[in-house]
Amino acid sequence: MAHQPVNTLKKGAELKQFFLLHQVEDRTAKDGRRFLDLLLGDKTGKIKAKVWDDILKKYPGPFVVGDFVGVKGQVDSYKQELQINVKYLETEKSIRFRGGDLSAFDPELLIQATPHDRQELWQELHGLAETGIKPPLKDLVLALLDRHQTDIQASPGAQLYHHPYLGGLLEHTWSVARHAWQCRSVYPELNHDLVLAGAILHDLGKIRELANPQAPQRTPRGHLLGHIVLGWEMVRQEAQALGFDPDDHLLLQLEHIILSHHGAEEFGSPVVPKTREALLVYYLDEIDSKLKMMDQHLETDNLPGEFTSHHKVLRRVLYRGGEHPGADSPPAEESEN
């Protein structure tokens, strides 16, 4: 059976193919039955799956995030969201060990990555830092980029919600930096060295917060400290190594941009933006991440009709546009919005 991309799956489809395992949770149903909650994916998107105890007795695993897994099952719908009812589950490693058939296994179909050429993105981002920022901030930004080039190029932009794939951090940083560059003529009164430096470095801590780019997971430091604090720490350490005075107001303002770029304490920022430059970087980051969330949801949601299913982070359904007969309104539970 040929591989069916996740973004083309429909209710009732029968599956026999490989996926990348993004999440696995061992749970117990209300009736006491054990089951696994999975998040499976390929290069086109992700889909939830359930494996009930009777299947687990036949195929006990273990199953670990980042595994390639062979799956047989049927696509069902639960609360207007597609999921796979799994009838067979085995890791690619297990199949290989027992000499099973791996002719349909192609990791190129399963690993999601930025659609852009990463080398081109890197060269443009590096060029923005070289030409768009004056010393001493230029020296600091270039030192951090050069020191962490490999990790920046590979890291995801987030675990789940925006750019959660190989090269996602680079793509997101490149996009925010381009926005920052264009704002020079719109807001000429701002310190654009600070804006561009903050745009390039705001998510640097993601390289220490997240591991395993093909199936992103938080590291212990990511869980306990988070990328905002980790990024601030990296910038301060590099500044000290370069002899950049830690009490200098320029560095202080750059650190403030990093610490405030989520915009509010309830969203993880230790402080809210208190400079014009910090406020601008916050909104540029917000624009790029939210638009990417919309793009991802529009590309992967399989609910038929003019409107997508509800997105829990964006807290809305999305309008696809165009003519979709028989779907004149959003899903019932969202019509009040």
| Structural domains present in the chain | 6-109 (2.40.50.140), 118-294 (1.10.3210)
Condensed to tens digits (0 to 9), the pLDDT of residues 288-335 reads 999 999 998 998 887 788 999 899 899 999 999 865 444 445 554 443
Whose structure tokens read 């980790």?
Answer: 230
Q: Which run of H or of E encompasses 225?
A: none
What's the rounded mean pLDDT across residues 13-32? Answer: 92
> Which pTM does this prediction carry?
0.82
Query: What are the tokens at 137?
Result: 């901030």
Give the separation between CA 117 and CA 173, rounded to whole angstroms: 14
pLDDT for position 244: 85
Condensed to tens digits (0 to 9), the pLDDT of residues 199-219 reads 999 999 999 999 988 888 899
Give the separation between CA 168 and CA 215, rounded to whole angstroms: 12
Whose structure tokens read 């675990």?
Answer: 159
What's the rounded mean pLDDT across residues 224-240? Answer: 96
Q: Which run of H or of E encompasses 319?
A: none
Give phi and psi for 26, each to the nearest 5.
-85, 120
Q: Which run of H or of E encompasses 15?
A: strand 14-28
Q: Is 329 exposed, middle or buried (0-12, 13-18, 19+ CB in 10 A)?
A: exposed
* Residue 336 binned pLDDT confidence (cut-offs 50, 70, 90): very low
Number of C-alpha atoms within 13 angstroms, CB side, residue 99? 0
Condensed to tens digits (0 to 9), the pLDDT of residues 160-211 reads 889 999 999 999 999 999 999 999 999 999 999 999 999 999 999 999 999 9
What's the rounded mean pLDDT across residues 129-136? Answer: 96
Among 127-136, 240-249, 288-297, 324-333, name the one with the lowest average pLDDT: 324-333
What's the rounded mean pLDDT across residues 102-127? Answer: 94
Closest CA to 161 of 315, 302, 275: 315
What's the rounded mean pLDDT across residues 138-161? Answer: 95
